[in-house]
Amino acid sequence: MSKKFQRRMEDFVCLNCGECVKGNGYTNHCPKCLFSRHVDMNPGDRQCSCLGLMKPAGVEYVRGEYIIIHKCVKCGMKKRNKSSPDDSFEEIVKVSSGGK
């Protein structure tokens, strides 16, 4: 059984838009298009075998922070992830208005 959160410093190439993303240990999605990948059961554990693309499906505004809701296009799992200051605000607005 893994811990609930494991910090991982990983860079990655976004499978949706091809952006080269520099990870800071908390990075879990592309700041350009907001897509992610379904690799974790718990944050950072890399224990999920699905590996599907996680599409930004909605946005919530909670206590002054934008929370991106990702939905796996392969298995349908939904996960909530905090936005980052590096995230494209234009994309956040687009997703929040149903434009993705």
pLDDT tens-digit readout, 16-67: 999 999 988 878 899 999 999 999 888 888 888 999 999 999 999 999 999 9
Contacts of 61 (CB under 8 A, 6+ apart): 67
Judge whether residue 100 has pLDDT over 70: no
Structure tokens at 3: 């811990």
Amino acid 27: pLDDT: 87
